[in-house]
A and B are shown apart, each in its own frame.
Chain A
Amino acid sequence: MTRAATPAVRRFESPGIFAFMVWALVIAFIAWSFAETGPSLERLMRGANRLIAPDGMLARMFPPEISRLPQVLRSLLETFQMATAGTMLGIVLSFPLAILAAEGLSPNRILRGLSRGLIAVFRTVPDLVWAIIFIITVGLGPAAGVLAIMVDTMGFAGRFFAEAMEETDKGPREALSAIGATRPGLIFSAVVPQALPAFTATTLFCLEKAVRGSVVLGLVGAGGIGIELKTAFDLFDYDQALTVIIAIFILVIAVEQLSGWIRREII
């Protein structure tokens, strides 16, 4: 019995000249970026020394100062409330926006293009910039933070909701379309129930993101615990800063655990 001749197959494809040039450019740009902006070893060593010296930042953080704990907890609650209100407003407004942006569900191309464009603007402008815009328009405080989180959530959830609805099984939609169901009927009977797990997961992720984000928003005056952190650092009260950091850490972990549990139980 003779073995049938099989063609030899190469393990790797050698890249073409264009692909080679692209790879070379990418690697060169990464190396250049490090050289221009990356910290030098000497600076890193100096920084580490400043951090762990006997009178350094780390030593001055311990033990955490808890005399202002009630105020810190009030700010923490405000942060969580900002995140919750902003996320929920954003989610509610994302839904119609996502329907208008979803292929196959949007009434026409123009509306679809406009909705996608709006979502892209909401997503690409950072939440910190939205916070500054809303501080200018509605003034300092948590309202600006809530609006910034709302817009940031719309940018994120709008896109994910639209994609989740586009990816649903087309069969039920076709079946209802075949019996003459209207567009709202198709959306609420065939599309939304299928996309609900994705909606829930996205909403919980948005809440986690908003809790983390709302800490930073406080740094520019948009309410919440961020202002406590900024004040403590500005006054070199590192022990108070540690109390705030621990409080933020507990809140973020608690929200992540809670959303993880909800995801497991519901989805």
Chain B
Amino acid sequence: MQMRLIEDGAAIAAPVLRLTELCKNFGERQILKNIKLEVIGGSAVALIGANGAGKSTLLRSLVRLVEPTSGKIELLGKDVTALAERDLVRLRSRVGVVFQKHNLVSRLSALTNVLHGVQSRSNGPQSWLQCLASRSDRDEAMRCLAAVGMQNVALQRVDSLSGGQSQRVAIARMLMQRPEMVLADEPDASLDPQSGEEIMNLLYKLTKEKKLTLIVSSHRLEHTQHFSDRIIGLADGRITLDQPSATSSSKNLRSFFIDRAA
């Protein structure tokens, strides 16, 4: 499947992400090899691949949490690889990232953690703790918590929440950021099957509601098929599969979930 632009009436949707010959080496080891990819706005793309295939490196490279070795990344109209530090910070504020581990501050309340998302657009002590936050930010943070069904635990410390609940709070923090695009690196990996499915469903539903582009990696076959529009398969640092989720067959996809190093 090579078609990457979808006609929407008369207009052609522009890609929000374009990768050209993207490479990433860690020492002698080539993790990403000449990746070429375009993703149109509002779509949900699932990245699949065995351990070490390069999924996390690819996702992290997009906002330069990992510095690419060569190639070009155009994201939300910006040449990410050429951005100065200050402009990179501005771009990152437009991209929500959900990690495998929730990466919340466990000693702080769910509400304070969600409020940290406001740091994408404003700085200062009002974004450090919920007790210092403005009324409007607190209200917005509560709405974000409500969107993930966690409004009732707003003042509970994160270390008292379950893994699934914590991941929901992390998604609320991402919503608080008001992102234009969401990158999710195996958000279901450390959760039990039911919680994992709930999280993937929530991410997919919320990004569709808000018309956000979602790029998500997962190790669970059924999640990648159900909660995406398009599936990209990575093997040995290259894209070896690119097809709509609706037409994907479990048989074809299964080989991407086998750890080749094992």
Contact = CB atoms under 8 A, between A and B. Distances in A.
Contacts of A190: 105, 116
A15 interface: no
A113 B180 CA distance: 40
A189 B127 contact: yes
A107 interface: no
A172 B105 contact: yes
A179 B119 contact: yes
B107 A176 contact: no
Contacts of A171: 99, 101-103
Interface residues of A, number: 21
Contact of B119 (A174, A181, A196): A181
Nearest to A171: B103
A193 B99 CA distance: 20
A181 B125 CA distance: 12
A180 B89 contact: yes
A192 to B, nearest CB: 8
A184 B119 CA distance: 11
Contacts of A177: 65, 92
Given A180-B119, A185-B119, A189-B128, A175 B97 contact: yes
A176 B101 contact: no
Nearest to B104: A172
B35 interface: no
Interface in B62-113: 63, 65, 89-93, 95-97, 99, 101-108
Contacts of A180: 89-93, 119-120
B123 A184 contact: yes
A194 interface: yes
Contacts of A196: 107
B117 interface: yes
Contact of A194 (B101, B105, B127): B105
A188 interface: yes
Nearest to A175: B103
Contacts of B127: 185, 189
A178 B63 contact: yes
A175 B120 CA distance: 11
Contact of B177 (A179, A182, A189, A194): A179
Contact of A176 (B96, B119, B125): B119
Interface in A188-222: 188-190, 193-194, 196-197
A188 B116 CA distance: 10
Given A171-B99, A174-B65, A189-B127, A182 B105 contact: no
Given A184-B123, A189-B105, A193-B105, A178 B128 contact: no
Contacts of B101: 171
Contacts of B65: 174, 177-178
A182 B123 contact: yes
A177 B104 CA distance: 12
Nearest to A184: B123
Contact of A174 (B103, B116, B125, B173): B103
Interface of B: 63, 65, 89-93, 95-97, 99, 101-108, 116-117, 119-120, 123, 125, 127-128, 170, 173-174, 177
19 contacts: A169-B106, A171-B99, A172-B104, A174-B99, A175-B99, A175-B170, A175-B173, A179-B92, A179-B95, A179-B177, A185-B119, A185-B127, A185-B128, A188-B128, A189-B116, A189-B119, A190-B116, A194-B107, A197-B107
For the complex of A and B, the 7 pairs showing the least CB-CB separation, nearest first, are A180-B93, A171-B103, A175-B103, A180-B92, A181-B119, A178-B97, A180-B89
Interface of A: 169, 171-172, 174-182, 184-185, 188-190, 193-194, 196-197
Given A171-B101, A178-B95, A185-B119, 20 more contacts: A171-B102, A171-B103, A175-B103, A175-B104, A178-B65, A179-B92, A179-B120, A179-B174, A180-B90, A180-B119, A180-B120, A181-B119, A181-B120, A181-B123, A184-B123, A185-B123, A189-B119, A189-B128, A190-B105, A194-B107
